[in-house]
Chains A and B, each alone.
Chain A
Amino acid sequence: MSELLWQALQQVQGYVYPNEIEVNWSILIVFYPYITGLVAGAFIVASLERVFKVEAVKPTYRLALLTALAFLLAAPLPLVAHLGHPERALEIMFTPHLSSAMAGFGFVYAWYLLIVLLLEIGYDYRKDVVKWARTKRGLKGFLYRLLTMGDYDISKEALKKDEKLVGIITVIGLPSAAFLHGYVGFIFGSVKANPWWSSPLMPIIFLFSAMVSGIALVLLIYMASTKLRGKKLDMKCTDTLAGYLLYTYVLDLSLEFMEIAHLVYVQEEGIDAILTLINDRLFLSFIVIQIFLGTIVPIFLLVMAKTGLFRATIRKIFYIFAALLAMIGVLAMRWNVVIGGQMLSKSFRGFSTYILPIFGIEGLLTAVAIFILPFVLLFIFVKVLPPWEEPPIWESTEHQAVEGNGEG
């Protein structure tokens, strides 16, 4: 008997089936929907500017796209690390079956990465990449020349067509992002035997919480990167993003409330066990962290910021805390769904306990390392494809040249 199973066995409460003693979907499976959600949320921020023409958030458009790409590349890693035979991971895509929800996720993921994100970033950056390819030397220059794919046409017509194409991709990308993350909720919502998971609302709740965490992440990265670059924060952009965070949050909270209200109202088999799960086993992670610290407090902070009573410096602090708490709250939501659902025995008469190891492939450190990876990727992407609003060097040179000619 493994040490972990023995420890879990000592903490079994009531009656559980033997295969429920150990919680097999570990912290890695908590991070899988969390990271995927951040991708969907970040992409939705990008689409605010493109599709919904929210000009105020333009400074975050490219940053949000690169964030989505960095997190998307890391999204399958928790799943692959969780597999006993990670080398077989691709087999679900080689021989996909309609009964396999995970195989479906593989194709949704591939579609989103290859058709939506890479194409949108590629066409959006094309003008800059061509210019960088012409001016940069060495390895970076080679990379830019590779990215141009040999097409250096940046005439007005070509750029206009690129712009139109990016618009079309974003319109396709928006439902794709919703599908990508809704699908993760669908995987849990389809487990009929588990009343804590089985709900048609699950994909919608996952999607809205993904939007919350994604907007919060982009907001934090935007504020941190502006500070690190020593630039002035665009308060209109920050306020608008925070506003969207608030609206999404309110919707997310009402959906969560509807889900719980529905569970309690219909009083289906297992409701007593669910109430014990919420009030006892998940009290800290659900009531305290997810609902109070992760939802009510940030909503309160965002509403306070919206009142107009506070000046920009104070609002910035509110936003930082609200965004951080939102990210913690959504992580807690994933934890409560994934771990909570496995603690609840199918007998509805007992609970098992999840023991979180620090080391090992299923341990806390692996999960943290996987979560840090997208930030490292984002740092590299930002270095290669700077997403900042200020005009690149050649544009300012052109600008100066035009000004110089005017004076002459």
Chain B
Amino acid sequence: MRKIHVRVAMVYIVIAIIFLIVRSFIVPPSFGEYGWYRGDSVSEIMNLSVKHAGSYSCSNCHQTEYKAWTTGKHSTVNCESCHGPLKYHVDDPGGSKVEVNATREFCGLCHNENPSRPEGFPQINLESHGNGFTCVTCHNPHYPWFD
């Protein structure tokens, strides 16, 4: 075999070896254990702490708000959508405080005017609506009313 062929073949073999070495460093050892992903991610995700408690757990203590919420227009919006993850509060109701974002911008995430929203969906212009007062001044978020 000619010298040039041997040398070219050697260059390609070296490239292939470098590729395999880099691959061995980059691909995690547990890759492919269960499927086309890092197997260790399953146990890592399973060990993450639970943060959400679900709306039903609120009914144990906050019956008034819960009853209003289940019959109101916001019944499809989970409690934790506005109040945030609440597992810590359910675990220790007395020792923890629930924060809620009551700013106009927060309500605007769903109710600010947006041409891609369905026409019947309540939408307002945040700039002009409500004279700058917070929305909860007039609207009860657990049982909202609107025109």
A residues engaging B (CB < 8 A)?
A: 9-10, 12, 16, 18, 21, 90-91, 94-95, 97, 114, 119, 122, 126, 149-151, 153, 158, 161
Q: Does B8 contact A (CB under 8 A)?
A: yes
Is the Cβ of A149 less than 8 Å from the Cβ of B7?
Answer: yes
Is the Cβ of A158 less than 8 Å from the Cβ of B2?
Answer: yes
Q: Does B12 contact A (CB under 8 A)?
A: yes
The answer to whether residues A149 and B116 also contact, given A94-B23, A95-B31, A158-B2 and a CB cut-off of 8 A, is: no
18 contacting pairs across A/B (C-beta < 8 A): A10-B115, A12-B115, A16-B116, A18-B116, A21-B116, A91-B26, A94-B22, A94-B23, A94-B27, A122-B8, A149-B7, A149-B11, A150-B7, A151-B3, A151-B4, A153-B2, A153-B3, A161-B2
A126: chain B residues at CB < 8 Å are: 4
B7: chain A residues at CB < 8 Å are: 149-151
Once the chains are docked, how many angstroms separate the CA of A75 from the CA of B15? 21
A158: chain B residues at CB < 8 Å are: 2
Is the Cβ of B114 less than 8 Å from the Cβ of A149?
Answer: no
Who on chain A is nearest to B11 by CB?
A: A149
Once the chains are docked, how many angstroms separate the CA of A126 from the CA of B22? 31
Who on chain A is nearest to B38 by CB?
A: A95
Nearest 9 interchain pairs by C-beta: A151-B4, A149-B7, A151-B3, A94-B23, A94-B27, A97-B36, A94-B26, A95-B27, A18-B116
Interface residues of B in 1-51 (CB under 8 A from A): 2-4, 7-8, 11-12, 15, 22-23, 26-27, 31-32, 36
B115: chain A residues at CB < 8 Å are: 9-10, 12
B22: chain A residues at CB < 8 Å are: 90, 94
Who on chain A is nearest to B3 by CB?
A: A151
A149: chain B residues at CB < 8 Å are: 3-4, 7-8, 11
Once the chains are docked, how many angstroms separate the CA of A106 from the CA of B26? 17
Expressed in whole angstroms, the minimum distance between the Cβ of B126 and any Cβ of chain A is: 13
B4: chain A residues at CB < 8 Å are: 126, 149, 151, 153
Who on chain B is nearest to A6 by CB?
A: B114
Once the chains are docked, how many angstroms separate the CA of A357 from the CA of B4? 50
Once the chains are docked, how many angstroms separate the CA of A172 from the CA of B52? 59
Is the Cβ of A12 less than 8 Å from the Cβ of B2?
Answer: no
Once the chains are docked, how many angstroms separate the CA of A95 from the CA of B39? 14
Expressed in whole angstroms, the minimum distance between the Cβ of B20 and any Cβ of chain A is: 10
B15: chain A residues at CB < 8 Å are: 114
Once the chains are docked, how many angstroms separate the CA of A114 from the CA of B4? 16
User: In this complex, which of A21, A94, A122, A153 has the most chain B Cβ atoms within 10 angstroms of its Cβ?
Assistant: A94
B32: chain A residues at CB < 8 Å are: 95
Who on chain B is nearest to A98 by CB?
A: B36
A21: chain B residues at CB < 8 Å are: 116
Once the chains are docked, how many angstroms separate the CA of A122 from the CA of B5? 11
Expressed in whole angstroms, the minimum distance between the Cβ of B42 and any Cβ of chain A is: 17
Expressed in whole angstroms, the minimum distance between the Cβ of B53 and any Cβ of chain A is: 29
Once the chains are docked, how many angstroms separate the CA of A18 from the CA of B4? 58
Once the chains are docked, how many angstroms separate the CA of A293 from the CA of B78? 57
Once the chains are docked, how many angstroms separate the CA of A16 from the CA of B114? 13
B116: chain A residues at CB < 8 Å are: 9, 12, 16, 18, 21
A95: chain B residues at CB < 8 Å are: 27, 31-32, 36
Expressed in whole angstroms, the minimum distance between the Cβ of B122 and any Cβ of chain A is: 18
Once the chains are docked, how many angstroms separate the CA of A55 from the CA of B3? 31
A16: chain B residues at CB < 8 Å are: 116
A97: chain B residues at CB < 8 Å are: 36
Once the chains are docked, how many angstroms separate the CA of A95 from the CA of B27? 7
Once the chains are docked, how many angstroms separate the CA of A94 from the CA of B19? 8
Expressed in whole angstroms, the minimum distance between the Cβ of B35 and any Cβ of chain A is: 10
Once the chains are docked, how many angstroms separate the CA of A150 from the CA of B4? 8
Who on chain B is nearest to A158 by CB?
A: B2
B31: chain A residues at CB < 8 Å are: 95
Expressed in whole angstroms, the minimum distance between the Cβ of A164 and any Cβ of chain B is: 12
Write the B57-98 contact mask toward A (1 if CB under 8 angstroms, else 0).
000000000000000000000000000000000000000000
Expressed in whole angstroms, the minimum distance between the Cβ of B37 and any Cβ of chain A is: 9
Once the chains are docked, how many angstroms separate the CA of A97 from the CA of B32? 11
B23: chain A residues at CB < 8 Å are: 94
Once the chains are docked, how many angstroms separate the CA of A94 from the CA of B22? 9
Once the chains are docked, how many angstroms separate the CA of A88 from the CA of B67? 50
Expressed in whole angstroms, the minimum distance between the Cβ of B127 and any Cβ of chain A is: 14
Once the chains are docked, how many angstroms separate the CA of A343 from the CA of B120? 26
A91: chain B residues at CB < 8 Å are: 26
Expressed in whole angstroms, the minimum distance between the Cβ of A11 and any Cβ of chain B is: 10
User: In this complex, which of B4, B15, B22, B32 has the most chain A Cβ atoms within 10 angstroms of its Cβ?
Assistant: B4
